[in-house]
Amino acid sequence: MEFRKIIDVFTIIWKGKQKVGFKLENIDKPLFVSPKFVYNNTGVEINEVEILIGSYFQPIFFQVGDKMFSGKNFQKGESKIVKSFNIIMDSPISELRIKNNKHLKKFKEIKKVFQFTRNNRTTIGLDIGEEKATFISANWLKGLTTLDLNEIHILEGSFILPEYYEAGENIYEGMDKEPEFCRKSGVILKDLNIRFYGKIDEMYERYENSEPEYVTTYDHYESDYGYDSSKWLEDLAGTDDPEVMRDVYWNID
């Protein structure tokens, strides 16, 4: 197939595996490929794949009878699967960062992962080196990543883009529940976009190479970074307002 112009680039994590999706000119459905293949082809890191918008993508698909990566043979009637591809970049990476800056999403690198349990609820903190960490329930994070509680530390070095409810927004929009309206913007997590550093084994390797002493708990975080674990709910809410803290407590999952 000839080269097609890239009109959008995004990422997904499905059953713990990350893929980069490309929407191409005159092709209805997006094509999904390995982030590592994208990096090897272009040198573009996972946290800035949007800079490839406007460049050109040439997909090569599996044909009937071809052996796929799983070892199975590709069958007639199956959806198109990319076997290999080529990308012609519109400009050097440094120029694409400037040219496509408006397309870049503001993903931040996870500097530290910590956890704490209060009232039989385990919450994960994702520190991106700013004043406020991002907090998410252990169950919700596992649903997004498939990582168990004893594995979450390998998320250090990956990237997140949290989305929060705005004041006045119905927290239960689209659900069969009585409306409940957010009291304060930027405190109740609506969605967490994650981009893995690499494959799970690569994330383990990166973490092990950093020679950590332990998986950080909230109490360790208190001594190392000046956090007060008795004020965990205030940290989540970003305020000591009782009504806002109540909303955050009941909606952290």
Domain residue ranges in the chain: 4-103, 108-251
Between residues 32 and 120, the one the model is more confident about: 32
Which pLDDT belongs to residue 249? Answer: 61
Mean pLDDT, residues 177-188 taken together: 86
Tokens of 84: 């290999």
Tokens of 8: 């959008």
Between residues 188 and 219, the one the model is more confident about: 188
Mean pLDDT, residues 224-241 taken together: 60
Residues 253, 139: Cα–Cα separation, whole Å: 7
Our CA angle for 173, 137, 133, nearest 5°, is: 100
Which pLDDT belongs to residue 183? Answer: 85
What percentage of the chain reaches a pLDDT higher than 90? 47
Tell me, rounded to whole angstroms, the distance of Cα 115 from its chain centroid: 18
User: Which segments of 89-143 are extended strands (E)?
Assistant: 108-109, 112-118, 121-127, 134-137
Residue 162 reports pLDDT greater than 90: yes
Residues 71, 119: Cα–Cα separation, whole Å: 47
Average pLDDT, the chain: 84
Question: At 9, is the pLDDT very low, low, confident or very high (cuts 50, 70, 90)?
Answer: very high
Residues 113, 219: Cα–Cα separation, whole Å: 13
pTM confidence score: 0.77
Which pLDDT belongs to residue 236? Answer: 62
What percentage of the chain reaches a pLDDT higher than 70? 81
Residue 223 reports pLDDT greater than 70: no
DSSP element (H, E) containing 140: helix 138-145
Between residues 109 and 116, the one the model is more confident about: 109
Which pLDDT belongs to residue 232? Answer: 61
Beta partners for residue 114, in sequence order: 125, 216
Residues 97, 89: Cα–Cα separation, whole Å: 12
β pairing state of 159-164 and 189-195: antiparallel
Which pLDDT belongs to residue 214? Answer: 47
Which pLDDT belongs to residue 46? Answer: 95
The dihedral region occupied by 15, where left means phi > 0, alpha psi between -120 and 50, and beta the remainder, is left
Residue 137 reports pLDDT greater than 50: yes
Residue 234 reports pLDDT greater than 70: no
> Is the separation of the CB atoms in 215 and 150 below 8 Å?
yes
Mean pLDDT, residues 31-50 taken together: 94
